[in-house]
Amino acid sequence: MKLTIVGTGYVGLVTGTCFAEMGHHVCCVDVDAEKIDLLRQGDVPIHEPGLEALVAENLEAGRLIFETSLPEAMKDVELLFIATGTPSDEDGSADLQHVLAVAREIGQNLSHYAVVIDKSTVPVGTAEMVRGVIASELKDRGVDIEFDVVSNPEFLKEGAAVEDFMRPDRIVVGTDSERASALMRRLYLPFNRNHDRTIFMGIRDAEMTKYAANAMLATKISFINEIACLCDRLDVDVENVRRGIGSDQRIGFHFIYPGCGYGGSCFPKDVKALVHTAKTAEFEPVLLNAVEERNRQQRKVLAGKIFEHFGTDLKGLRFGIWGLSFKPGTDDMREASSLGLIMSLVEAGANVSAYDPVAMDVSRTMFPKEWLESGRLVLAQHQYEAIDGVDAMVLVTEWKPFRSPDYAAMRRLMKQHLIFDGRNQYDPQLVKSEGFAYRGIGRRN
């Protein structure tokens, strides 16, 4: 099948590349000419395991191409994916300007029947808006061309997006058209060989499903973080509590790992958008408000523990940060817990050294230039360089290379032997036996 994917960000690039890998002919479109030039050379601008190799293979095979012109990319194509960004607006709502701009251009150039597929995460009712924009443009042109709009939300984890796309738990398709349903079923046929993973539903149902899924996962994280904060005050080890409740099959172990808050491009944005949607519908989302507030507070927990130990004046102290991205497996630092922590430490007078296995280039764009030039913030080239002469090491992102550190090297390098574990990655007793003081999240320090 011939597909056009509009938007070569995280969702669009993974979607287009994986469809090409399954044999479809895919054209990815973006208005950023510089990015398109890089992609044509196989240079992938995001870190996602396995993606760069797939892009190169499918470019060479001719199944994947990149263009800047949507009208050219629409020729003889029945499936048009909208995969543009929907960032949070000031009021928390999803900013749909890019989605609707693409819909407008589709309406201005549509010449035959096509299915327009919302792949971006969009609020309930967006498909109706997209349909209205396209219909309005067709009316202005004085033409009557049939088309359908479908909701097909993505459920990709950053750091495992290729695997998630190629082996999905479920494929959600929201449509009210039999013709569109048949095309979508054919499109996803290669992904259903073992068993049918496709769930067909109403368009608004599909739009809500995406938001509900992310809100549920965020809720689990905020719940266990709240329990961990309570454990801190009751002399309880939350790790034992986590294992105790996770063994209940009705609860499970997924997403009940306490830490220093969730971040990234999805959970914070989508919870805010769902809260805004609820309030627009004159419904007060009490639980979602609490999920968001707990996460705001949780992102301050590590800094709070550091201030509790050293006091609020950190002049003359240096801290080594391990992990800058919002989670392992990606270089994405949007809403990352490291941002607020480093800001708090530097503003309190501390110097900071930081290291991340893949996010170092991105990190240079995330902090004030004067911090980097003055040495208040040093972006180290190695994890052990980041802790040379520090008064404490602070684990923020639980990358695998950090899981079994060289404690002997750490003792030699660190000025004070103190670890703040923002992801409860380490065994407190082992850390203490190696000569370090330990501060975790709800770990009975």
Tens-digit pLDDT profile for residues 26-74 = 999 999 999 999 999 999 999 999 999 999 999 999 999 999 999 999 9
Tens-digit pLDDT profile for residues 260-295 = 999 998 999 999 999 999 999 999 999 999 999 999
Tens-digit pLDDT profile for residues 312-352 = 999 999 999 999 999 999 999 999 999 999 999 999 999 99
Looking at the DSSP bridge assignments, the partners of residue 318 are 351
Mean pLDDT of 159-178: 96
pLDDT, the chain, mean: 96
Looking at the DSSP bridge assignments, the partners of residue 172 are 199
Q: Which of 27, 28, 231, 266 is catalytic?
A: 266
What pLDDT shows up at residue 2?
96
Is the pTM higher than 0.85? The answer reads yes
Mean pLDDT of 8-33: 96
What pLDDT shows up at residue 193?
83
Mark whether 266 is an active-site residue.
Answer: yes
Asked if residue 383 lies in contact with residue 398, where contact means CB atoms within 8 angstroms, the answer is no
CA distance 262 to 253: 17
Write down the residue that tokens 């994917």 correspond to: 5
Query: Is the predicted pLDDT of residue 92 greater than 90, yes or no?
Result: no
What pLDDT shows up at residue 128?
97
Given CA atoms 384, 400, 262, 168 in this order, what sign does their dihedral have?
A: positive
Tens-digit pLDDT profile for residues 203-247 = 999 999 999 999 999 999 999 999 999 999 999 999 999 999 999
Amino acid of residue 324: L
Q: Beta strands 392-395 and 377-379: pairing type?
A: unpaired
